[in-house]
Amino acid sequence: MREALKDAKVSRETAVRVKPERREKEWPRPAECRVVTIANQKGGVGKTTTSVNLAASLAMHGAQVLVVDLDPQGNASTALGIDHHADVPSIYEVLIEDLPMKDIVVPAPEIPNLHCAPANLNLAGAEIELVSKVARESRLRRALDSYDTGMFDYVLIDCPPSLGLLTVNALVGGDELLIPIQCEYYALEGLGQLIRTVDLVKSHLNPGLNVSTILLTMYDARTRLAAQVAEDVRNHFGDVVLNTVIPRSVRVSEAPSYGQSVMTYDPGSSGALAYSEAASEMAHRGASE
């Protein structure tokens, strides 16, 4: 297991120890908009679930939040109750046709303060179409720079399960990287490759990118393996790992089928409480930096 982590090194320059849990109704808001890319090329680790539920939780505690859905499957759009059929203007038109971001951003119907830039299946061909575009790796960054992100406290970018051009655009477009890691051994494989990709992006395209947060997901307290993975990740990455772990939860899995986040579908469930606590850590870390 440690072998799988040996090449994955993260700067601890901005790591901050989290103080004991807080229960304020409104959490502190960052001094300026935090653009956070949520990425891991392995599928099934909880990227979209994390994007949606962190966004919902932050919005429910007073923050203005935008979710940018970069996954052609459009699962984040679905979970937020956003219509994203093929005729709806989406992030595809922004990346390929230079449509302004303001023309596609829509409010989430269930949660005030939460907005979404939806994806649809057209995005599936974007990897190929981007190859011939000028500055193909930074088209999302350019779109965000020309959009008034100052109206938001957080922009969360949900990535597809790959390290292709869509994910590279997300890494170039973000200031921070949040990596969800499933508490199973195979989830650690490829993590070194992701960190190497991040280092390349920092060297050539986005020197300000920082791996600020690692979130342990799908934690099963009944298994010794989950505890071992969590311990190894914490020992290797240190304070960038959130104290909160996300347990396996049926409610978290059910919520998207109702076009909701778990925060509105079942706010008292273990998954909702865990994501709320993780979002609180994010908010207070940002306020203390």
pTM of the model: 0.89
**Most distant CA atoms of the chain, gap in Å:** 51
Residue of 169, 64, 39 lying closest to 114 (CA atoms)? 64
Q: What token pair was written down for 26?
A: 């409104």
DSSP-assigned letter for residue 150: G
* Number of alpha carbons in the 13 Å side-chain half-sphere of residue 135: 12
Whole-number pLDDT of residue 22: 40
Strands 34-38, 114-117: pairing is unpaired
Count the neighbouring beta carbons within 10 Å of the beta carbon of residue 39: 27
DSSP-assigned letter for residue 220: -
At 64-92, the pLDDT tens digits run 999 999 999 899 999 999 987 878 899 99
At 109-122, the pLDDT tens digits run 989 999 999 998 88
Cα separation, 235 vs 45, in Å, equals 20
CA distances in angstroms from 143 to 39, 172, 175, listed in the order given: 19, 12, 15
Whole-number pLDDT of residue 258: 87
Cα separation, 3 vs 82, in Å, equals 42
Whole-number pLDDT of residue 44: 83
Cα separation, 59 vs 82, in Å, equals 16
Residue type, 2: R
Strands 106-107, 210-219: pairing is unpaired
Q: Which residues of the chain have pLDDT under 50?
A: 11-24
Strands 65-69, 154-158: pairing is parallel
Sign of the alpha-carbon torsion through 156, 46, 109, 99:
positive
In the chain, where does DSSP find H-type helix?
2-5, 47-60, 75-79, 91-97, 126-130, 139-145, 165-173, 191-204, 224-237, 250-254, 262-265, 270-288
Q: How many residues are listed for the chain in this entry? A: 289
User: Would you say 61 and 168 are in contact if contact means Cβ atoms under 8 Å apart?
Assistant: no
Cα angle vertex 49, ends 272, 129, to 5°?
160
At 13-48, the pLDDT tens digits run 433 333 334 444 788 999 999 999 999 988 888 899
End-to-end CA distance of the chain: 32
Count the neighbouring beta carbons within 10 Å of the beta carbon of residue 13: 6
